[in-house]
Structure 1
């Protein structure tokens, strides 16, 4: 036993030292490690003239994620690797597109030995967390900028939006945002307001929407028509304002979209969301109820209706809506979190603890947030 103990102690010290070294990986070392999975993107028109440049990264070997607007309208596209031996490879087409998330999954024709994949973070970053971006601003391939997460906000039907302080420009569209573990936490999408770039990224949870499907040529991707369908163009303009956190401005566009096409459930959802942000909860409830008439089995809308009831002080109705959302999707962490809070505030600590127990299994970070806010402990 005496012989074994020093060996165990040495092993423990070695493991601790390894973990400390890995945890304290410097930014230059991190960049060297993750940069081979980042690419520069160039698109060309029918005359083979340059159209747009952007950035992207390998989600899986041979599959690159970028912003949809980077490739829209292109007839040909290529990626250039940033691994020090940068080579150009042809994009053979799209495997998936996500209009609302402004994302595209590209198929790249390249040798197996050069294929890379990025590590995707399993949780959202905290506000104030340090991050860095690798991209191609102004055609400066492989440029690195760093900063912090300045805000995390929600856009219904899109997901979590991350605002960052790292400088970005149009060439950064599609760039990966990394945490200090070298994991991708978001995809840069450049938004412009009053002539200024707003540094935003869509959270990586949205990448789940990019399920590889049938390969389509770039030319098969339809151009966005902003003039024909007023409801659609108004909705998308409203989304742009919502990304920027401008709820008052966004509401006008969403109301136009809902009035022009009253059967558009997503427009009513956004109207409800903006009304909640304005403190007009009764109007928000009516908007969500209208959306539920169109999509009665939507757990997301039931959850949002619960929010409107909650902020209106109607806890019993909030609990009913959150419960419906959780029943429709038992693994819906947000619904269980909301139920726990509502039960706790209504004085039913037993049911609040039951929901906390479920939440702990689904989302550890959200569970910690619940405990810090309510002091509920398992």
Structure 2
């Protein structure tokens, strides 16, 4: 499960996606995206100091009616997978339940990235329709959670989230993930606080909860560049992951993100790209209350905005927009998880791709 989940290049070769993959590899516009990231709202009930979307929070949401219409438009466009994410907390919108039902009953795969505080209120829909739910935890104890993921009153809701995850673990039909972003912060008094020492504790808790995987990621700055960490901190994380490996079996895996691999290879914060058009932007897009963007990495960036889903239909936006308005060589020098996929699409276009797979296994390219 872990290897397939993060092997984005191999996912390009699934048969049901192949016609649109070929369109894009040949340099053509795609007829529709394969995957859509959807932010139902910009509101969030937590106040995480390191939130990469902090400047965009609490600035609006789709109306329940428009959100329902968007779900129908995604079905009409034959999108294969939708990730409910943010921006804000996707489960904080009352209309998200209907989106889950509409997309799920249409056979569209659904991923949900959540802080977990509202799982209980959405339990039936998540259990029935979500292909996967990934909960952003970033801690293994309530005290550390309160430092990095406090609510608006500064309190820790760690125990509440863990209880919610246990409920979903019992009821789920899809996968449940525990996400751990390795962070450190220098406080006003000059002292440094970090969560890195709780990787093993968090992995053990994820296993105990009944999660399907535990994912470790590196921290981004506000411009999506990977933040380097001290050698001693990385060594500590590596040692804990090695000890956590004993937890792995057919039902539970440790997943190392591409950002962690980048830290290990000491690649630095800049990821150079020598191509000027992002082919992945023809296969994925981001829909938010503030606009539709060519890429989730450019959430809130007016230069990358291709439409307004509040006033325009997604079909209209996709038909009329220029998804080539972002130049990766100049505008995307941060770490991009789909850089390798872009290079693979170039190879496919040149006739040097791999054989198409016999069957589908994961639409989240």
Higher strand share: 1
Asked if these proteins are the same fold (TM beyond 0.5), I'd say no
Higher helix share: 1
TM range (shorter): under 0.3
Give the TM-score taking structure 1 as reference length.
0.27
Higher-Rg member (1/2): 1
Give the TM-score taking structure 2 as reference length.
0.27
